[in-house]
Amino acid sequence: MANVTTHDLIQMKQKGERIVALTCYDALFARLLDASGIDILLVGDSVNQVLAGAPSTLSATLDQMIYHTTIVRRGVERAMVVCDMPFLTYQVTPEEAVRNCGRAMQATGCHAVKLEGGQPMAATVRRLVDVGIPVMGHIGLTPQSVHALGGYRVQGREDAAAERLKVDAKALEDAGAFAVVLELIPAPLASQISKALTIPTIGIGAGPACDGQVLVLHDMLGLNDRFSAKFVKKYAAMAEDVREAARLFAAEVREGRYPGPEHSFGK
């Protein structure tokens, strides 16, 4: 089965077909999501918070991202796998970005990388695209810049900030990015950007007019019940399911009801 390609995504935008993306960090979930028809599996540096318990994405390492992207790729037959490049692996120089992004693609078998930043990153995006590395952009709330942005808050509410985001999006398209994530920006602004670009926009907290949507898997499944946000819809309540299953297992072990004869071997 062929994987979803950058060309496929651009055609989906042209046809008005919505693109579906989720974060993913391991082979088991990758297999389940791939079988469910998800178009893009983003191995986000959010793994640093969701699975590693860090307070932000900033301490994620390239080795960490390579490990998780490698195991996600093992579970995939159809979806595009995108490796989120961690802080300071691409911002220093375009040449260093090529080395690190190239290493990530070579080591993991992923199909593309994702970089945060708009117009200031355009030259780096162009350099990567020129050597054959597909790039997904990311503007709006960029978590690696959370301290500079003053926290996790909606971006582009003021007219000048909105204009900067429009310029950022166009700069990424002109540099050769095949898609751009729009995170935590007003829905009307996201609509304007989506209509202005020929490449797809993937929204997270950016309203319904984006060409696709992405959520953090553990938020969508209700596994991360300590996090809630206006833009997150929980499609399951798995945190309570896990707690209840663990309570039942513990009770049966303590009462001697597990394992029973049907779970045991004879001679």
Collapsing DSSP states into helix, strand and coil, what is residue 74?
A: helix
Beta-bridge partners for 19: 212
| CA dihedral sign, ordered 188, 79, 222, 226 | negative
Amino acid, res. 267: K
Give the whole-angstrom CA distance, residue 181 versus residue 195. 14
Burial 113-134 (b: 16+ CB within 10 A, else e): bbbbbbbebbebbbbbeeeebb
183 an active-site residue? yes
Of these residues, 77, 173, 183, 262, which one is catalytic?
A: 183
Amino acid, res. 79: A
Rounded to the nearest 10 degrees, how much is the dihedral formed by the CA atoms of 170, 171, 176, 179? -50
> For residue 163, how many other CB atoms are within 10 A of its CB?
12
- How far CA 234 is from CA of 87, 116, 194, in Å, comes to 29, 26, 25
Collapsing DSSP states into helix, strand and coil, what is residue 146?
A: helix
Omega within 30 of 0 (cis) for the link into 208: no
**Diameter of the chain by CA atoms?**
77
Tracing tokens 């707690």 back to the chain, one arrives at 243
Active site residues: 183
